[in-house]
Structure 1
Amino acid sequence: MTILITGARGKVGQAVLAGLHAAGHTVRAASAKPAELTVPAGVEVAELDLGRPETFAAALRGVRQVFLYPEPAGIHELIAEAEAAGVEHVVLLSSSSVLGPDPEQDALASHSLQVERALTASTLTSTFLRPDAFASNALGWAWFVGQAQPVQLAYPDADIAPIHPLDIADVAVAALTGDTLTGRSVTLTGAETLTFRDQLAVLADTVGREIPVERITRAEAEQQLGRFMPAVMVAALLDLWQAAEQQPAAIADTTETLLGRPARTFRQWAAENADAFTVQH
């Protein structure tokens, strides 16, 4: 039985692929640019370009399970091809943002929500993994830390429960290789809540020097973030962080509750990625 991994260039996708391959499963890695994939020896690669439905059939041939990234482009055609190919189960890397008050209008949630709804309307059995904030989001501060500049935040006391990307991958591997998660929708977090200020303190401890934190206005944050992402995405993020300053994050399912082993901590993620925060001379 072949398991297809879409988004195989992503951090989570790579880890899912590696975990399945190490356990002896037959895995096919898919990407719109398969020549750019780095995969273990013996792993098949396939082109799967959501903008080109003609690539779907070959990528799905012989596949019984799919690990899917939440891209709505071409999703209906992809589902139809998966049904025709005999795919039995899809594990979707969704987002906890779909549980928000108005996900249809939320730029963070809408992509995942569209894919969830398309899968729900299909004949495929689906498992939705809905992680909250990734620990790796802290890489957004790496340039400032590396330049020995203060990290400027509109909501430095936003309280979240960051999850290590490898924990998400481990849960996905379990969903693809067992039946305890089949058909479920699971919200995933880390095992501890940390404000952004707390996370930066952990990073400061890890790199052995102070990382100053400066509170800025929302308008200033909009201007800064707007250089890297659309305005609707900026507004959605800032709304999320503003709310997170008012209400502490809730701990949801973790690798402890789902897999019976402790969740990786943010401190562990920081130690593994300390080089990204090294001062650049």
Structure 2
Amino acid sequence: MILVTGATGNVGRNLVRELADAGEEVRALTREPATAGLSDGVDVVEGDLTRPATLPAALQGVDRVFLFPVHGPGALDGFLAAAEQAGVRHIVLLSSDSVTFSEPGWIGEQHLACERAVAGSAMSWAFVRPSLFMANDLGWARQIRRGAAVRGVYGDGGMAPVDERDIAAVAAHALTPSAGKTYELTGPQTLSQVDRVRIIGETLGVDTRFEEVPRGDVRRELLHRLPAPAADFLLDQLAASRTKPVQALPTVEKVTGRPARTYAQWVAHHAAAFGAEQGLPRGAASY
């Protein structure tokens, strides 16, 4: 049996679906089973990685785990001890490509701590290290629904965002027990924020535009949901991508045998979030 932690998150939800469709026996760990809304046939259990007492029951009969990262000193110790006790053989950790940077920064250091904890356990492991999630751009949805400009900084910096469904597909592959594999993955294109806002408009048939604003304005918004070191790291990476764009990697296609999903495909999948019916311009009729 495979246990998926963070099962209602951007990657976890897609991974649960991917594994269930492949006929795997899946257990999903979530704080709120009643509202999880996961695939039929999935064993949904209540639990929390930060509450070790909830873990033994969730790990019973499990031999493989998809592990969502929990940050902080010793944050994964309770889970790893419980997993070893339960006889888990293999762990796939959701990490970040920031661990590969010459200066990992605050975010990279948090993920490196998780990687070290998992690598130091008695279980085999694999690390999935995605670049920027396309799902992060759902933060623009409210502005686009209102017809307002998407406001941001360093709009011309080149990133290679990846579809969360492709991260899940690579994670599903990584759940085949192996010794110390790492998967660094991006989307198929290097795109700026200006490019991505344009593609949203072209895909959905709506008017969109990007408006450059001062770094301090964006930082203040980020601080509503991120610690200051994380906000500064993200802004520094965006700034760096203006002169050194992130290069797209072929990992998704090499692992899955199909091309990575494009940004336009991701937008169409999330059309409703941006105020349009899937595949239709906002306001168009559906028959």
Same fold by TM-score greater than 0.5 = yes
Where does 1:129-168 land on structure 2 (aligned, <5 Å)? 129-168=128-167
Where does 1:183-198 land on structure 2 (aligned, <5 Å)? 183-198=180-195
CA distance in 2: counterparts of 1:85 and 1:54, whole angstroms = 13
Q: 1:225 aligns to what? A: 222
Give 1:38 deviation, angstroms. 2.0
Give 1:86 deviation, angstroms. 0.9
% of aligned pairs identical?
A: 39
CA distance in 2: counterparts of 1:147 and 1:230, whole angstroms = 28
Q: 2:279 aligns to what? A: none
Give 1:34 deviation, angstroms. 2.7
Amino acid at match of 2:238: W
CA distance in 2: counterparts of 1:274 and 1:34, whole angstroms = 27
CA distance in 2: counterparts of 1:101 and 1:275, whole angstroms = 39
Q: After the TM superposition, list the runs of 4 or more consecutive aligned residues in structure 1 that deviate by more than 6 angstroms.
A: none
Give 1:182 deviation, angstroms. 5.0
Give 1:207 deviation, angstroms. 2.4
The total of aligned residue pairs comes to 276
Is the partner of 1:152 in helix, strand or coil? Answer: strand
Where does 1:14-163 land on structure 2 (aligned, <5 Å)? 14-72=13-71, 74-103=75-104, 106-163=105-162
Give 1:145 deviation, angstroms. 1.1
Give 1:275 deviation, angstroms. 2.1
Q: Structure 1 36/278 Cα, relative in aligned 2: closer, same or farther at 3 Å?
A: closer
Q: 1:7 aligns to what? A: 6
- CA deviation profile, 1:92-125 (whole Å, cap 9, x unmatched): 111111122333xx33223322211101111111
Moved more, 13-22 or 222-231: 222-231
Give 1:131 deviation, angstroms. 0.2
2:268 to 257, 267, 271: 271
CA distance in 2: counterparts of 1:48 and 1:224, whole angstroms = 31
- CA deviation profile, 1:228-275 (whole Å, cap 9, x unmatched): 433222211110100111111122243212222111110100111122
CA distance in 2: counterparts of 1:62 and 1:56, whole angstroms = 12
CA distance in 2: counterparts of 1:212 and 1:29, whole angstroms = 39
1:212 to 209, 213, 216: 209
| 5+ long unaligned stretches in structure 2 | 277-281
| 5+ long unaligned stretches in structure 1 | none
Moved more, 107-116 or 16-25: 107-116
Where does 1:161-176 land on structure 2 (aligned, <5 Å)? 161-176=160-175
Report if the CA contact (8 A) 1:225-1:234 is conserved: yes
CA distance in 2: counterparts of 1:84 and 1:228, whole angstroms = 35
CA distance in 2: counterparts of 1:144 and 1:227, whole angstroms = 17
Report if the CA contact (8 A) 1:154-1:221 is conserved: yes
Is the partner of 1:130 in helix, strand or coil? Answer: strand
